[in-house]
């Protein structure tokens, strides 16, 4: 009996020494819980490659965009920007202004759109009850994490409180990027990816080859299709400046993805794919209609 107890103790010790990372130098893992309307997350994390594992415990879709804060800019200024955009939504939804008026107002308030928007990735759109994992590299500094999906009443989640400071310290973990199973290339006009995959767990390297001139750059999100899914409808819903754009509930199931990074950089997205029909899709102006269907066997 004593030998059995000793053996069991050794087994437990071995298990307790296991890491979530397959490589001891792999990305630092940060757990995030998203719900209405807040993130439960650490306030400080070390610099380096970081895998954000976000669980959506809410009743609406959520994501987590990582926005670096420039020197002298406060989170209150970011909140005020969110309220300004919400005011544009309110006018547009009542047919008081046009979509062109929205872009003119944004240009006046924030400057003309360009190809240098410097967001730093983060977990993409994920439906209720699902978990998503996105890996990105973060330099030391101050960041804002936010979700601007809109509640059923049309109010942005960040205006309702889903915005939080994140400090990235200079205690670099010497973490390394994950090994990728597949690479997806994001150009301004298309998504270059495989047409067919076998079922299983994948880590996708997302290559941000280009960056459009706009307030939202190239990003990528995964949707699970059913027989009557119309990607035109999904793309229109994903345009935040369309009527009912990003208003929950979404017309399709989202399984995650990654938000934009600067041109020439890479982020990663990990997902377990069951057999079925899927599509990669970008959150851009509806007129761009940028998506890529694929099948999992």
Residue 135 lies inside a defined structural domain of this protein: yes
Q: Is residue 11 part of a domain?
A: no
Q: Are 90 and 100 in contact (CB under 8 A)?
A: no
Q: How many domains does the chain have?
A: 1
Residue 5 placed within a domain: no
Cα torsion 213, 178, 276, 255 to 10°: value is -60
Q: What pLDDT does residue 4 have?
A: 37
Span 228-253, pLDDT tens digits = 899 999 999 999 999 999 999 999 99
Scan for tokens 């990669």, then name that residue: 280
Asked if residue 236 belongs to a domain, the reply is: yes
Spatial separation of the C-alpha atoms in residues 45 and 169, rounded to whole Å: 6
Q: Is residue 17 part of a domain?
A: no
In a domain, 16, yes or no: no
Percent of the chain at pLDDT > 70 equals 90
DSSP 182: E
Q: What is the pLDDT of residue 23?
A: 47
Domain containing residue 76: CATH number: 2.60.40.420
pLDDT digits (tens, 9 = 90+) for 11-49: 333 333 333 343 467 899 999 999 999 999 999 999 999
Task: Give the CA distances from residue 123 to residues 158, 221, 295, in Å, rounded to whole numbers and listed in that order.
Answer: 16, 9, 23
Q: Which range of residues forms the domain containing residue 261?
A: 25-296
Answer yes or no: is pLDDT of 208 > 80. yes
pLDDT at 26: 85
Residue 47 belongs to some domain of the structure? yes
pLDDT in tens, 42-82: 999 999 999 999 999 999 999 999 999 988 889 999 999 99
Residue 20 lies in a domain: no
Pairing, β 38-40 against β 65-68: unpaired
Question: Rounded to whole angstroms, how far apart are CA atoms 258 and 122?
Answer: 5
Contact 291, 231 (CB under 8 A): yes
SS3 label, residue 168: strand
pLDDT at 161: 96
Phi, psi (deg, nearest 5) at residue 273 = -105, 120
């Amino acid at each position: 009996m004593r030998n059995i107890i000793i053996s069991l103790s050794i087994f437990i010790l071995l298990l307790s020494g296991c890491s979530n990372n397959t490589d001891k130098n792999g990305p630092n893992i940060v757990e995030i819980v998203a719900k209405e309307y807040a993130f439960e997350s650490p306030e400080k994390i070390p610099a380096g490659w970081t895998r954000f594992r976000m669980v959506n415990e809410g009743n609406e879709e959520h994501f987590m965009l990582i926005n670096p804060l420039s020197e002298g800019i406060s989170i209150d200024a970011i909140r005020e920007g969110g309220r300004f955009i919400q005011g544009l939504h309110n006018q547009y939804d009542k047919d008081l202004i046009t979509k062109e008026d929205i872009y003119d107002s944004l240009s006046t308030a924030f400057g003309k759109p360009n190809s240098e928007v410097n967001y730093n990735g983060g977990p993409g759109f994920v439906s209720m009850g699902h978990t998503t994992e996105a890996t990105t590299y973060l330099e030391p500094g101050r960041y804002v994490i936010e979700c601007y999906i809109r509640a059923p009443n049309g109010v942005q989640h960040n205006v309702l409180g889903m915005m939080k400071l994140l400090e990235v310290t200079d205690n670099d973990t010497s973490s390394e990027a994950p090994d990728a199973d597949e690479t997806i290339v994001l150009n301004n006009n298309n998504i270059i990816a495989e047409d067919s995959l076998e079922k299983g767990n994948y880590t996708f390297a997302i290559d941000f080859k280009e960056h459009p001139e706009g307030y939202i750059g190239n990003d990528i999100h995964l949707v699970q299709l059913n027989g009557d899914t119309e990607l035109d409808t999904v793309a229109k819903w994903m345009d935040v400046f369309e009527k009912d754009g990003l208003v929950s509930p979404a017309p399709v199931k989202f399984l995650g993805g990654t938000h934009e990074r600067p041109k020439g950089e890479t982020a990663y997205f990990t997902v377990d794919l069951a057999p079925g029909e899927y599509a990669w899709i970008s959150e851009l102006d509806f007129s761009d209609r940028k998506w890529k269907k694929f099948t999992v066997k």
